[in-house]
């Protein structure tokens, strides 16, 4: 995560959002990833999503583990607090942080090694707890920083840059999340910003754990023929199951599609997610049919994308734990300490 400051260049006619900020204000330092890396496109999509949602930069907490993907929080929202933790353990940092301060917007960035191998347990349990955060899994099927080993998401039969064939079955984060009861499950492609941005925005507004699996090709180690996570393979096999629009609260947009084909889900803050052009046999709010659809689609060699499943009335960690609405970090000490009289009363029971 080499630090290279980005020159501040501001076009006088650059558009601003409701906070008067420009997209530039949501950028970070210069990326040091390889030219053409899918992760940089995901970063760009995140910048756009933050900008369009009028997010206050310093109210964002961005977290990651270790790996190429985990470097990227440095590349967006420079006024946000960042936490580049240890390999595979970002979910626990996010869980504790969210427990302490529920008012920030939590965005975790991880990769397939970080999430599906060393950190699989933490990912699963963050999903189970329904920690209120967006979890972006930049998925390229390969270990980049250590130079090209297969990751746990590499497909059976796919070949490494060195010609080796992968003979272990992949872990599909989308099916996994669905089976663990995730309330927001999406898959997208780093090369499809049009699809990715609304998904990220919806994820940020979702109360609970939002998994966004993004196929994000590694141009250096996994973009060759024989790879199933290359740009070419993903473009060819990608099948958008649902198209998603995110409609923020109080910003009605004109629909340019047939209303009858739209399924709307209201988010906690009143904004809406609209699913359109949904495949006839697909219901993004029914976990069982989604799982079944994805299984069939995988067997056909397709990469199903879109906001695949959404359940907006699930209980997040704080609802389950029944914590106060005020962030715990904001509770005054006098409210937390029972004091000497209570201690005396308590000890009368210890005799």
Partner 1 sequence: MAHDARDRLNDFALKVGTVNGTGSASANSLLLQALFRMGIPVSGKNVFPSNIQGLPTWYEIRVNRDGYTARSPDFHLIVAMNPQSYERDIDEVLSGGWVLYDSTKELDDEILRDDVTFLGIPLARMCAERFERARERILMKNIGYVGALVALLDIEMDVVKGMLEEKFSHKPSLIDSNFTAIRMGADYAREHWDCPLPIRVRRMDATGDHVMVTGNAATALGCVYAGATVGAWYPITPATSVMDGFKEWCQRFRVDPDTGKHDYCIVQAEDELAAAGMVIGANWMGARAFTPTSGAGISLMSEFIGLAYYAEVPSVFVDVQRTGPSTGMPTRTQQGDLLLTAYASHGDTKHIALYPANPNECFEFAVAAFDLAERFQTPVFLLSDLDIGMNDWMIPKLEWDDDYRPDRGKVLTAEELEEAKSFYRYLDVDGDGVPYRTLPGAHPKGAYFTRGSGHDKYGKYTEDSDAYLEVVDRIARKIQSAAEHVPEPEVHAVDGGARHGIVSIGGCHWAVMEARDELLAEGVEIDYLRVRGFPFGEAVVRFLEEHDTVFVVEQNRDGQLRMLLSMETGCPRAKLIPVRYYGGQPLSKGHVLDAVRPALRAVLTEIAS
Q: How many C-beta atoms surround the C-beta of residue 220 within 10 A? A: 18
Which candidate, 90, 13, 94, 104, places its Cα nearest to that of 56?
Answer: 104
CB of 213 to partner 1, least distance (A): 21
Integer Cα distance of 75 and 90 in angstroms: 17
Can you read off the two tokens belonging to residue 9? Answer: 């260049």
Residues in the chain, how many? 351
- Residue 341's contacts (CB-CB under 8 Å, 6 or more residues apart) are none
- Of 281 and 344, the one with the shorter C-beta distance to partner 1 is 344
- Of 253 and 328, the one with the shorter C-beta distance to partner 1 is 328
Sheet architecture: strand order including 272-276: 243-247, 272-276, 263-266
Which position among 31, 110, 115, 122 is part of the footprint of partner 1 (CB under 8 A)? 122
- From residue 48 to residue 77, what is the string marking binding to partner 1 with x (rule CB under 8 A)? ---------xxx-x-----------xx---
Angle of the 193-205 helix axis to the 38-52 helix axis, nearest 10: 50
Q: Does position 99 bind partner 1 by CB under 8 A?
A: yes
Which position among 39, 207, 229, 318 is part of the footprint of partner 1 (CB under 8 A)? 318
Integer Cα distance of 61 and 34 in angstroms: 25
Number of residues that bind partner 1 (CB under 8 A): 61
Which position among 18, 79, 232, 269 is part of the footprint of partner 1 (CB under 8 A)? 79
Classify 203 as helix, strand or coil.
Answer: helix
Which position among 47, 49, 93, 152 is part of the footprint of partner 1 (CB under 8 A)? 93
- From residue 128 to residue 147, what is the string marking binding to partner 1 with x (rule CB under 8 A)? -x------------------
Integer Cα distance of 16 and 266 in angstroms: 27
User: Do 97 and 328 meet the contact criterion of CB atoms below 8 Å apart?
Assistant: no
Which position among 33, 104, 211, 265 is part of the footprint of partner 1 (CB under 8 A)? 104
Q: Does position 10 bind partner 1 by CB under 8 A?
A: no
Using CA of residue 45, residue 106, residue 70, residue 321, what is the dihedral sign? negative
Stretch touching partner 1 by CB under 8 A, among 153-161, 175-183, 292-300, 323-331: 323-331
Can you read off the two tokens belonging to residue 116? Answer: 């599906």
Can you read off the two tokens belonging to residue 328? Answer: 């715990």
Element housing 311 (H / E):
none
Classify 281 as helix, strand or coil.
Answer: coil
- Of 206 and 318, the one with the shorter C-beta distance to partner 1 is 318
What DSSP string runs through 144-166? TTTTSEE-TTPPTT-B-TTSPBP
Q: Does position 319 bind partner 1 by CB under 8 A?
A: no
Stretch touching partner 1 by CB under 8 A, among 47-55, 163-171, 291-299, 318-326: 318-326
The torsion region of residue 208 among left (phi > 0), alpha (psi -120 to 50) and beta comes to left
Stretch touching partner 1 by CB under 8 A, among 92-100, 183-191, 202-210, 273-281: 92-100
Q: Does position 277 bind partner 1 by CB under 8 A?
A: no
Stretch touching partner 1 by CB under 8 A, among 34-42, 152-160, 200-208, 340-348: 340-348
Q: Does position 292 bind partner 1 by CB under 8 A?
A: no
CB of 129 to partner 1, least distance (A): 7
Which residues contribute to the site for partner 1 (CB under 8 A)? 1-3, 57-59, 61, 73-74, 78-86, 89, 91-101, 103-104, 121-122, 124-125, 129, 317-318, 321-325, 328-329, 331, 333, 335-340, 342-344, 346-347, 350-351
């Amino acid at each position: 995560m080499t630090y290279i400051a980005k020159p501040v260049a501001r076009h006088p006619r650059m558009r601003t959002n409701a906070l008067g900020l420009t997209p530039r204000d949501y950028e970070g330092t210069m990326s040091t990833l390889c030219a053409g890396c899918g992760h940089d496109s995901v970063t760009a999509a995140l910048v756009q999503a933050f900008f369009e949602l009028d997010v206050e930069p310093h109210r964002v907490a961005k977290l990651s583990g270790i790996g190429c993907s985990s470097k990227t929080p440095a590349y967006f929202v420079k006024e946000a607090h960042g936490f580049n933790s240890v390999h595979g353990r970002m979910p626990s940092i996010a869980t504790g942080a969210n427990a302490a301060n529920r008012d920030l917007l939590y965005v975790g960035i991880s990769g397939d090694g970080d999430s599906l191998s060393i950190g699989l347990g933490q990912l699963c349990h963050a999903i189970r707890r329904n920690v209120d955060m967006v979890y972006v899994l930049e998925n390229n099927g390969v270990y980049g920083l250590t130079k090209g080993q297969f990751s746990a998401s590499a497909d059976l039969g796919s070949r490494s840059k060195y010609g080796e064939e992968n003979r272990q079955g992949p872990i599909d984060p989308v099916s996994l999340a669905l089976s663990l009861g995730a309330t927001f499950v999406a898959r997208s492609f780093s090369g499809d910003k049009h699809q990715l941005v609304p998904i990220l925005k919806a994820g940020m507004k979702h109360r609970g754990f939002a998994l966004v699996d993004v196929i994000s090709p590694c141009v250096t180690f996994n973009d060759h023929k024989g790879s199933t996570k290359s740009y070419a393979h993903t473009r060819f096999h990608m099948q958008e199951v649902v198209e998603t629009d995110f409609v923020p609260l109080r910003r009605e947009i004109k629909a340019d599609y047939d209303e009858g084909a739209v399924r709307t889900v209201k988010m906690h803050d009143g904004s809406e997610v609209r699913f359109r052009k949904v495949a006839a046999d697909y219901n993004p709010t029914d976990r069982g049919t989604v799982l079944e659809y994805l299984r069939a689609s995988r067997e056909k060699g397709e990469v199903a994308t879109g906001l695949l499943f959404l359940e907006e009335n699930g209980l997040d960690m704080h609802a389950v734990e029944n914590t106060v609405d005020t962030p715990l970090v904001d509770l005054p000490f006098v409210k937390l300490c029972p004091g000497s009289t209570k201690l005396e009363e308590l000890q009368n029971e210890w005799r």
